[in-house]
């Protein structure tokens, strides 16, 4: 693939550093107020959902309660949890918003997430073999991965992964593909598994045992509501995340290319390995601003609600340097994801034409 020369990389680095600096020096009251307002919204939605589901007398009330709880979970995971854990609000010095202590409302243990996502995925983005987020060791998304028979059915795998997304993410660090190949043994993962069961058990207990029992006469309804809310959140989170890195144009890299890379090269890899999608304010909020995946990968610890103001500057810089800036409508980007999953379920020789 196309790369930049030294001067261009230098210009990219200085340009992006400047964009970052402008926002960092402007962080303050506005950002604090924003995140606290979102947290208030999330708490209100969750409390409303938990009350409305058992007390609803009509299907409309039940659906409203479930929707409210789903929204609460989505906002908590995407705009609050994911972003807080990136350290986007560490500068506020508020223990409730401290990245390393935050625990979120999903089966995935936050410590495991911080290791695999903040560190591995954000550092080694789209490097085949190093970024395990690339296909999650389950899907073949480029010809860099050899084709196997299993890949024929990978669309079903994808749907399954989306439905159970919180458990998939929770088990990500298990590195099951390495377990299967015998590279590592279950014993190596003892510590991780203990954490996984502790956190996963906690989530299971809350949504499927405690709240249903608490509202015993209507336990079935509450169980159904909670299951639906988790399902809605799972599908949504999975869709957003797949749109971030697995669109048609998103580039992949090899370990050798990235050795001793400069800051400029790192920026370049983040830029070309990620993709944005456009939409309204609510779409951005519910995606945790991962609709600005490019900006997020360039500036993972800048409060995400700032990405919309940074994006035009990043895009202009890319245009200047002739770097592709991968963006499109949500629907279009998602369609290319589906296409990519389908296309690479076939062996290379059958799809070479299409490429």
Partner 1 sequence: MSAFNAQRITAMQWLSRQLLNQDVAGRYFDPLIEPLNPRWALGRMIATVERIEDETHDTRTFVLRPPRRWRGFLAGQHVTLALDINGVRHHRTFSLACAPETWQREGLIRITIKRTPEGLVTPWMHKNLYRGGALEISEAFGNFLLPDVEAPLLYIAGGSGITPILSHLESLACREYTAPITLIYCIRSAQDQIGAQQLEQLQHKLPLLNCQIIRADQGEGQPPRLLQASDIDSIKNIQARHCYLCGPTGLMAVATTLLETRDVPEEQVFQTFFAPLTNPLTDTAGGAVTLMRSNRELTVDSGQSLLEAAESAGLSPRFGCRMGICHQCSCRKTTGTVVNRNTGHVSGPGEETIQLCVSVPQGPVSLDL
Q: Does 153 bind partner 1 (CB under 8 A)?
A: no
Burial class (CB in 10 A: 0-12, 13-18, 19+), 297: buried
Q: Nearer Cβ to partner 1, position 34 or 147?
A: 34
Name, in order, each residue with C-beta under 8 angstroms of 240's C-beta and a sequence gap of 6 or more.
78, 287, 288, 290, 291
- Closer Cβ to partner 1, 118 or 143, answer by number: 118
Task: List the one residue out of 137, 126, 122, 129 whose CA is nearest residue 172.
Answer: 137
Stretch that binds partner 1, among 25-33, 65-73, 151-159, 243-251 (CB under 8 A): 25-33
Q: How many CB atoms lie within 10 A of CB 325?
A: 18
Q: Is 168 in the site for partner 1 (CB under 8 A)?
A: no
Angle in degrees, CA 79, 301, 74, rounded to 5: 10
- The Cα 7–Cα 12 span in angstroms is 9
Q: Which of residues 123-152 bind partner 1 (CB under 8 A)?
A: 123
Count of residues that interact with partner 1, criterion CB under 8 A: 46
Nearest-5° Cα angle at 160, 157 to 166: 125
Q: Is 329 helix (H, G, I), strand (E, B) or coil?
A: strand
Helix (H, G, I), strand (E, B), or coil: what is residue 193? helix
Does residue 18 interact with partner 1 by CB under 8 A? no
Q: Confirm or reject binding of residue 188 to partner 1 (CB under 8 A).
A: no
Examine residue 202 and tell whether it contacts partner 1 (CB under 8 A): yes
173 part of the interface to partner 1, by CB under 8 A: no
- Taking CB under 8 A as the rule, does residue 40 contact partner 1? yes
Q: Does 51 bind partner 1 (CB under 8 A)?
A: no
Residue 114 interacts with partner 1 (CB under 8 A)? yes
Q: How far is the CB of 47 from partner 1 (least distance, A)?
A: 7
Residue with tokens 């906690």: 202
Compute the least distance from the CB of residue 28 to partner 1, in Å.
4
Q: Which of 15, 49, 87, 170 binds partner 1 (CB under 8 A)?
A: 87
Given 3, 7, 14, 103, the residue binding partner 1 (CB under 8 A): 103
Which residue is associated with the tokens 């196309």?
2
Question: Applying CB under 8 A, does 13 fall inside the site for partner 1?
Answer: no
Cβ 179 vs Cβ 119: under 8 Å: no
Reported as type and span, the H/E element at residue 223 is: helix 219-245
The CB-of-294 to partner 1 minimum distance in angstroms stands at 15
CA atoms within 13 A on the CB side of 278: 8
93 or 181, CB closer to partner 1?
93
Residues that bind partner 1 (CB under 8 A): 21, 24, 27-33, 36, 39-40, 43-44, 47, 86-87, 90-94, 96, 98-100, 103-105, 114-115, 118-120, 122-123, 194-195, 198, 202, 205-206, 210, 266, 300-301
């Amino acid at each position: 693939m196309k790369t930049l020369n030294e001067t261009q990389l230098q210009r990219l680095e200085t340009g992006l550093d400047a964009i970052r600096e402008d926002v960092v020096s402007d962080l303050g009251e506005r950002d604090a107020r924003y995140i606290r307002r979102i947290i208030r919204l999330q708490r209100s939605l969750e409390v409303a959902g938990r009350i409305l589901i058992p007390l609803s007398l009509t299907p409309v009330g039940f659906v409203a309660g479930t929707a409210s709880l789903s929204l609460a979970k989505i906002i908590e995971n995407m705009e609050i949890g994911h972003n807080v854990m990136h350290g986007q609000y560490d500068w506020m010095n508020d223990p409730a918003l401290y990245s390393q202590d935050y625990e979120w409302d999903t089966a995935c243990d936050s410590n495991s997430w911080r290791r695999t996502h903040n560190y591995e995925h954000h550092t080694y983005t789209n490097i085949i073999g190093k970024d395990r987020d690339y296909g999650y060791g389950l899907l073949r998304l480029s010809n860099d991965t050899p084709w196997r028979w299993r890949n024929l059915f990978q669309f079903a795998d994808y749907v399954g992964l989306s439905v159970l997304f919180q458990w998939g993410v929770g088990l990500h660090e298990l590195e099951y593909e390495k377990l299967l190949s015998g590279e590592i043994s279950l014993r190596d993962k003892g510590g991780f598994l203990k954490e996984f069961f502790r956190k996963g058990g906690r989530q299971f207990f809350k949504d499927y045992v405690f709240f249903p029992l608490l509202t015993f006469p209507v336990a079935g309804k509450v169980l159904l509501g909670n299951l639906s809310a988790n399902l809605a959140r799972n599908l949504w989170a999975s869709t957003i995340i797949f749109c971030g890195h697995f669109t048609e144009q998103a580039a992949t890299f090899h370990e050798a290319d990235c050795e001793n890379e400069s800051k400029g090269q790192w920026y370049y890899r983040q830029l070309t390995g990620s993709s944005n999608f456009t939409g309204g304010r609510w779409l951005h909020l519910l995606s945790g601003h991962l609709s600005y995946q490019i900006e997020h990968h360039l500036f993972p610890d800048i409060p995400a609600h700032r990405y919309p103001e940074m994006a035009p500057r990043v895009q202009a810089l890319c245009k200047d340097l002739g770097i592709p800036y991968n963006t499109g409508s949500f629907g279009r980007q998602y369609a290319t994801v589906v296409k990519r999953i389908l296309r690479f379920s076939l062996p290379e020789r059958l799809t070479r034409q299409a490429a």
